[in-house]
Amino acid sequence: MTRLYDIAKVLRSKNSGPFQVTLDILFESVEDFRRVAGSGRLTRERIAALYRLNESDIAEIVFHEPMLGIKITYDRTGASSGTVGERDVYGAQQHAPLLDIEIP
Amino acid sequence: MRNESFKILSPCGILGYGFPDASFENGLAENPDAIIVDAGSTDAGPHKLGANVAIVSRRAYKKDLSRLIKAGRERKIPVIVGSAGGSGAKAHVDWTLSILEEIAAENAYRNVKTAVIWADIPKETVAAQLEAGKIEGLSRTVPPLTKERLAETTGVVAQMGHEPIAAALENGAEIIICGRAYDPAPFAAAAIRAGFDPALAYHMGKILECGALCCDPGTAKDCMIGEIKADCFEVRAPNPLLRCTKTSVAAHTFYEKSHPYLLPGPGKLLDLERCTFEEAGDGVVRVSGSRIRPALPYRVKLEGARKTAYRTFVIAGVRDPLLIEKIEDVESLVSESIRAQYADLDPADYRINFYNYGKNAVMGNLETVQAASHELGVLFEVVARTQEIASTVCASVRSTFLHYGFPGRKSTAGNLAFPFAPSDVEFGAVYEFSVYHLMETDDPLRLFPIEYRIMGGAV
């Protein structure tokens, strides 16, 4: 088992507009990408649990081999970016729950 | 006849972020056909648009803009600024124009044909389209637009596509100041007008609009060169310390978009599913296979912000282990005490919020780790109908929290370590994005009126 954090080349979060946050996991090699994409560990159900979301809050999970990347986009279910009660204006520090996902 | 290639120099990720002179000079030495910069973003939140303020300081903006104008004048190449002033509303464009006039006066520039492309959408237009059912939220959790919310919105802008910018170039504009624009559009406009493939042009724009952020290491404070050809485009950084790699450019294609390869823009959908990235040596990445298709009906993205409250806040530290253990309970007790103290105020007139840094402040309810640190940064705010209520209540929250005698307390002299005196900060108005919607339009050119001016006066 290896942590996702140790396999990924880039693992980040960012606004995709003020009403969504997008998580990018990018790899250096096609082997790394396939290892993670094929592991079955990144599912809608798993992401929802890690982020305390409903599965319907997750707008996209896309595995894209040509760019060696996985993109997960979820809706901000509370306040939108930059208004009262929203805690991360740029959405730049919402990636940490992904780090410890274990990949066989 | 189209030239074999068309080169665009993008100086930085946001006008005013700054860029090294040496990189800019190296970029100019490659004889670019245009200098194009994005000045905008919604990332900094709704306040910039709602309060009509810029993302960067006037000094930083002027310093960058004057270097671009000087280079454009010397080389007789167009300079295009997208989403002027950050949010691209009238106040932001006017601010940019006043800086531009200052630059012209200081450098005795005369007779420069300048196009201003406005992106403000009259509320009547928005209301009519709303009535006609031609407006919808951009994603599921965007609150529906209503007449009331529209009335409370400071002003509405729309993101322009390449069409009005290409028209201004066609009419001989040497400087183009755009109101709110789809970030890649100013870049795409120049390349499309020069006869190149719109798919490649938009994709190249998507990369260039962030300056050298697509490099390894990435930075929004440095320059990029994009060169578009018949069947591909190439990107590279003029700074030899920054290199594009397949991974860095592909990663950037993912950046701040909801889908990795389907990128909706004004009236079109950019499809990058089958595009390829190759390293062409010397830090150059070549991209091909980008596709674009019309998305009809033509829809533009609208943005608008409304004022929702006024805020006063305090930052303090907590080091006492018992208080850290009971922090949320104590905060609830403090709030209850304040509610009782201000029973004369309408409870809907204010809210008290606590953010416990070192515990769960960054992720809030989404946080699953429950361990607290040995010290906490406690940020508390009061958001209220007026600034006076916010400051009054916040001062009471502060003094109540400071002296609150929670059960078992031994540190009876005070609960909070304030880094600053005074501790209470009046923040001013808080805004929210009240408009973040797509609107159908029959005429993407007419929505964005172009005004021509002669900068520095005609001679």
| ipTM, two decimals | 0.93
B435 CB within 8 Å of a chain A CB: no
Say which CATH number the domain at B407 has.
3.30.70
The mean pLDDT of B297-316, rounded to a whole number, is: 98
**Which of B41-55, B93-107, B197-211 is the least confident region?**
B41-55
Mean pLDDT of B157-161: 98
Domain match, B197 and B245 both = yes
Q: What percent of chain B has pLDDT over 90?
A: 92
Q: Residue B198's domain spans which residues?
A: 6-119+159-298+441-455
Percentage, residues of chain A above pLDDT 90: 93
Instruction: Report which of A5, A1, A2 is spatially closest to residue A23, judged by C-alpha positions.
Output: A5
Structure tokens at B313: 């806040």
Find out whether A22 and B256 touch, Cβ atoms under 8 Å. yes
- Closest Cα of chain B to A50: distance in Å? 7
Sheet containing B34-38: which strands, arranged edge to edge?
A: B276-279, B285-288, B233-236, B224-228, B6-10, B34-38, B79-82, B175-178, B112-117, B450-455
- Calculate mean pLDDT across residues B170-175: 98
Domain co-membership, B284 together with B386: no
Token pair recorded at residue B176: 């183009």
Q: How far is A104 from chain B (nearest CA, A)?
A: 23
Same domain, B33 and B168: yes
What is the CA angle A90-B80-B289, rounded to 5? 70
Residues B449 and B409 reside in one and the same domain? no
pLDDT in tens, B376-411: 999 999 999 999 999 999 999 999 999 999 999 999
Residue B246 pLDDT class (50, 70, 90 cuts)? confident
Closest residue on chain A to B47 (Cα)? A82
Q: Binning pLDDT at 50, 70 and 90, where does residue B174 land?
A: very high
Closest CA to A13 of A87, A67, A78, A83: A87
Tell me, yes or no, whether B206 and B258 share the same domain: yes
Q: How confident is the model at residue B456 (pLDDT cuts 50, 70, 90)?
A: confident
Total domains in the fold of chain B: 2
How far apart CA B181 and CA B301 sit, in angstroms, is 10
Q: Same structural domain for residues B373 and B445?
A: no
CB neighbours (10 Å) of residue B362? 16
Domain ranges of chain A: 2-79+87-98
Interface touch B258/A77, C-beta < 8 Å: no
Residue count (chain B): 459
* Nearest CB neighbour to B254, from listed A24, A50, A90: A24
pLDDT at position B459, please?
Answer: 65
Q: Which amino acid, residue B14?
A: I
Determine the CATH number of domain A2-79+87-98: 3.30.70
pLDDT, tens digit, for every residue of A4-26? Answer: 999 999 999 999 999 999 999 99
Q: Is residue B271 assigned to a domain? A: yes
Mean pLDDT of chain B, nearest integer: 96
What span, in angstroms and rounded, lies between the C-alpha atoms of B307 and B154?
Answer: 8
Q: Residues B50, B167: one domain?
A: yes
Statement to judge: residues B288 and B391 lie in one domain: no
Instruction: Clarify whether residues B343 and B270 are in a common domain.
Output: no
* pLDDT for residue B1 is more than 60: no
Q: Are residues B75 and B181 in the same domain?
A: yes
Q: Would the CB atoms of A83 and B256 count as touching at under 8 Å?
A: no
CB contacts, 8 Å: A89 with chain B:
43-45
